[in-house]
Structure 1
C-alpha cells in the first residue's frame, strides 16, 4: 500500500517596502561534498529594484520602483537588457539588438526567508555591453544551498544606455551625467541593504562578487564613499580593470560619440531619450563598427566601460587607492583564450602573429614599435618552451592577450592591496583546463563552477561534469561561501590558504591536475615583461601611495 504524497509547502511570500512578492521553491540537487540531503531553496525572480529607466528616465539616475498592491509574482527571470544579439569580437559585423530597457530587475535565492544569512551579490560581466542575470550559468540555487547564503544577481543598464558621459544628459536631481549602469549597481547595493532582511539575508554582511566587467564593478563600488559600510568583503574574478584607451572612452571622446550619435539619429543629445532603443543601439554599434585602429575616436577601442566623470569614477583603477576591504582575488591561467579560441586563422603563422600582436599593442596604447612586437613574441615563446606549454602562434597570442589585459593588472593591484590595505587579500590562480575547441583556462571559466552549473547541457562538453569537476565546483563554492561567512576562505578539499603577500608562496592554485595547492604565483616572468614594456600599472615597488 503506497503512502499518500506529502503536501507541497505553499510558495514563499516576502514582504518588502514596495510590496509583497510570491516566490517559488526549488530543490537544486546535491553538489560534491554537500552534507545530508539536498535542501530546498526559495527563489524570487524578476524583482524590480528600481523604476524602469525608459522614456524621460533613460540616461537618468535610478529612481525607486513604485509600490504595488497585493502580492506580485516573482517566478520568472527578467529578459536581458537591450544589447547585441550575441557576444562577438569588436571587429565582427553588427548584430541586431535583443532585449528591452524595462528589465532592470534582480533575482534572489535563499535557503529560508527567515533568519539572517550572509549575502553574496553577483555582478555579471560582458564588457559593459552584453550579458544578463537571466543566464542559466548564473542560477544561484546551488550556490545558495551549498554555501548557506542569500545569493543575488541582477541586470543593469549596458552599452550607450549604461556607460558614457554628456553634460546635456545631467540628471536634475543628482546632477550626474554619466555611468548610468554603475549608478544602477549602486542602487542595487543600497536596495539589498534595505530589503534583503525580507529574504532571510543579513544587511550588515554583504559580499560583492563579479566576473570580468562585473569584477571591475566590484572594485569600483568598493571605493565609493557612498557605499562605505554597506560592503563587507569583495570577490573580483578576472576583473577587467578600467583604463583607456582599450576599455573606456575618455570624457572628450564620450561627448564626441554622443553628439555624433545624436546627429546620425537627427535629434539633439537630450533627444536621444526619445529614440527607439534598438535603433539607438544599432547606430552606436555602427559608429564603432571598424577595427579598433579605425574607430572615429581614439579611446574605447575594445570596450566602452565606465568613463572618468569626476564623481563616481574620479580616475581609472590604476590611479586610485585599493579598496580597504578583505578581498578574494581570482585570475585564470589563460584569460586570453576566451577571446582567441575559434576566432583566429588556423593554421596561423608567425607573420600573422606579429600583425595581431602589433594591433593588440596599439589598441592598448603601446604605439607601433616593431621592436616591441618582436620582443613580446620572443619573450612569450621562450617562456612557453621553458615551461612546457604550447609555443604555436595561437597559444602565444592567447597568453599575450590574457596577461596584458587581465593578469598583469589583477596581480599588480593585488600586490598593491597587500602593501597598502589593512585588510587581508587572498589570490587564486584558477587553472581547470577546458576541452576542445577551447584550450587552457579561459576568462569566465570560473562562473560555471562557482554556481555549480558546469553540468548544464551548454557547458558539459567544454567544462566536464565528472567527479573531479563536481569536487572542483564544491571546493570553489566552499571557499567563496566561507569567505562571505567569516572572511577566511576554507574548504575541506583545499589546503589552508594564507593571506597573499607579493613575495610569498601563498597563491592558491585551484583546478590543476595536481589538485589544490598553495604555491608561488605561476608565470611571473610574463608579468615582469609587461613591467619592463611600460605597461600599466607599475609594479608595487614603483607605485606611489595613490597608484
Structure 2
C-alpha cells in the first residue's frame, strides 16, 4: 500500500503530555487505497521506562525520570543493542543502528482526542534481534484504516533481556531473570496509564505479536499482575517457548552467565560494567557452535524466557491457555523462512537426512535411531497423496516449519477452543511470496498487517499489485474489527465461525481463491509430532 507523507510545521505538530513529560510528534498524511486520505499523528521514541544502562542493567524496569519542556518524538530511533548481520529476504527490515538505552515506544493515532481501541504489537526476532523501529512495523496505515491507536516498542534482547542468575537479583523486586519480559509488562502498564493522552482507550487493549513476540503475548496474557489489562490477543506464528530448543534451563543459564563473565574477566555482578557490544560478542561466541557443539545442553536454537518460578512458572505447553478472546495465525509454510535463500538446500535423500537430523537436534542432544527416516517417510507419503511436491527442499521446509512452529500453534489453538468459552479464531495465511523466498514463510504476515508490503525494502519479496493490496486491506480490516469488538470481519470475507477442532472453521487468506472458511490444511502431518513429544 502506498503512502504519501507530509510533515506539518512544528506549530501544528501534535503535543501530548505523559506522566513523565510532554512529547511532540509529527502529523503524517496517510493514503490508503479504498479510503479517504487521513492525517495520523506519529510519536517515535517515547520513553516508557528508564534506560536500562549502568546500574540498571539487569534491573527491573524503573519509571523514566520526568523531564521539563517538550521532548521531540518525531524521529525514528535506534533498535535495542543486538548483533548485526544479514536477514532472510522476507524478514522484517533490520535497523541500521542499535543502542542499549534504546528502550522506548512508538505511537500512531488518528486523533489525540477520543477513546479508540489500542493495538499493541510486540516484535519478534528470536529474543535476540528485531525492533519496533523497523519500517515493516510503521503503524500509520493500520491506525488510519482501522481507526486504532497503534503502539510498538523496543525491549531488552539477548542476554541483556533473557536469562537468569541470582547474583543479578534486583533488591527492589526480588527478580533475577527475564528482563525483556519485565520490559514488555512495563510497557502494558505504561499504556494503561498514558494511552488516553494519545486518544486511546486504556480499557480496550489488544495485544499482538509475531514469533517471539507471539510468545510474549501468550506469557503477558497469563501474568497475574496484568489480569484485566489486556482485552484480547492476536498471537501470530507463535514461537512457543520450550527447552532445550528455545530457552536455557535455569541451571544452564547460571552456567552460561558465569562462563561468559569469566571470559570477560569479571564476576556475574560485574557484567553490569562490561561494554554492551563486547558482552554480546562474547555471549555469541559462547553459543556459536549450537546445536552441534554444546557449551550447555539447552538453548540449542534460541535463548528466550527462562523458567524462573515468577514471571515464567513453566513452559507454554505446560500452562493454561489465556482465557481471552484470541485470533491465532499460522502461515502455510512457516519453515521456508529458514530454508529459502542462501540456506543449505538438500539435493538428494542423503543431504535431506543430514539436514533433518541437524534440525531435530534443536530438541534433543541425541536423535533416536530411525526417527529421521520415520519423519521423512511420513511427510513424503502425505505430500504425494495430496499431489504436493516431494523434492528434498519441500520436505525439509514442511518438517522444519511444523516442528518449530505449526504443531504447537495448532495444538494450543485447539486447547483454547476446548478449554475456554471465549471467542477463539484461527487464520491460515497462504499468500505466496516471490523468489528468492517461496511459499508463505514465517513472518510473512507482518508486511500485510501493517500495509508495508509495498515499501522499497519489501516490494520485491511481497509485491504491491492489486492482489497484494487487497490481501493487506482484508487482513487489516479483520484484525481491526477484532480489536474493536472481538468479531473479525471484512468485506469479501464469508462469515467466520469460532474455531472448532475437526470442523471447517479456519479462515484461509492470501491465496488466489480468495478468503474462504474451511478445514485447516495439512493436519495429518502434525500427528507425527504428537507421537514424539
By the TM > 0.5 criterion, same fold?
A: yes
- The verdict on how the C-alpha distance between 1:455 and 1:406 changes in structure 2, with shifts beyond 3 A counting, is same
Task: Provide the residue aligned with 2:221 in structure 1.
Answer: 222
1:26 aligns with 2:28: yes
Task: Provide the residue aligned with 1:253 in structure 2.
Answer: 252
C-alpha distance after superposition, 1:347-385 (max 9, x if no partner): 621101101111211211283224111011111112222
C-alpha distance after superposition, 1:273-317 (max 9, x if no partner): 000000000000000011312120000000000000000000000
Whether the 8 Å contact between 1:13 and 1:22 is mirrored in structure 2 is yes
Task: Provide the residue aligned with 1:208 in structure 2.
Answer: 207
* Partner Cα separation in structure 1 for residue 175 and residue 43 of structure 2: 31
- Within-5 A mapping of 1:268-307: 268-307=267-306
**Residue 436 of structure 1: CA displacement?**
1.0
* Partner Cα separation in structure 1 for residue 343 and residue 180 of structure 2: 32
- For 1:113, what is the secondary structure of its paired residue? coil
**Residue 413 of structure 1: CA displacement?**
0.4
Whether the 8 Å contact between 2:247 and 2:304 is mirrored in structure 1 is yes
* Structure 2 gap ranges (5+): 1-7, 89-95
Whether the 8 Å contact between 2:165 and 2:257 is mirrored in structure 1 is yes
Whether the 8 Å contact between 2:297 and 2:365 is mirrored in structure 1 is no
* Partner Cα separation in structure 1 for residue 121 and residue 31 of structure 2: 21
- For 2:31, what is the secondary structure of its paired residue? coil
* Structure 1 gap ranges (5+): 1-6, 90-96, 536-547
* Partner Cα separation in structure 2 for residue 379 and residue 399 of structure 1: 11
Whether the 8 Å contact between 2:505 and 2:519 is mirrored in structure 1 is yes
* Partner Cα separation in structure 2 for residue 264 and residue 344 of structure 1: 31
- For 1:72, what is the secondary structure of its paired residue? strand
**Residue 203 of structure 1: CA displacement?**
0.2
Whether the 8 Å contact between 1:41 and 1:141 is mirrored in structure 2 is yes
- Within-5 A mapping of 1:123-138: 123-138=122-137
Task: Provide the residue aligned with 2:187 in structure 1.
Answer: 188
* Partner Cα separation in structure 1 for residue 177 and residue 287 of structure 2: 19
**Residue 111 of structure 1: CA displacement?**
0.1
Q: State which drifts further: 269-278 or 493-502.
A: 493-502
Whether the 8 Å contact between 1:358 and 1:370 is mirrored in structure 2 is no
- Within-5 A mapping of 1:38-187: 38-86=37-85, 99-187=98-186
Whether the 8 Å contact between 1:216 and 1:242 is mirrored in structure 2 is yes
- For 2:334, what is the secondary structure of its paired residue? coil
- The verdict on how the C-alpha distance between 1:87 and 1:418 changes in structure 2, with shifts beyond 3 A counting, is farther
- For 1:292, what is the secondary structure of its paired residue? coil
Task: Provide the residue aligned with 1:10 in structure 2.
Answer: 12
Whether the 8 Å contact between 2:78 and 2:97 is mirrored in structure 1 is no
- For 2:370, what is the secondary structure of its paired residue? helix
- Please give the root-mean-square deviation of Cα atoms over the aligned residues, in Å: 1.3
**Residue 211 of structure 1: CA displacement?**
0.3
Whether the 8 Å contact between 1:289 and 1:295 is mirrored in structure 2 is no
* Partner Cα separation in structure 2 for residue 291 and residue 324 of structure 1: 36
**Residue 82 of structure 1: CA displacement?**
0.8
**Aligned residue pairs, count:** 518
C-alpha distance after superposition, 1:112-142 (max 9, x if no partner): 0000000000000000000001100000000
Give the structure-2-normalised TM-score. 0.95
Q: State which drifts further: 357-366 or 410-419.
A: 357-366
- For 2:283, what is the secondary structure of its paired residue? helix
* Partner Cα separation in structure 1 for residue 420 and residue 111 of structure 2: 35
- For 2:120, what is the secondary structure of its paired residue? strand
Task: Provide the residue aligned with 1:538 in structure 2.
Answer: none
Whether the 8 Å contact between 2:339 and 2:345 is mirrored in structure 1 is no
Task: Provide the residue aligned with 2:93 in structure 1.
Answer: none
- For 2:257, what is the secondary structure of its paired residue? helix
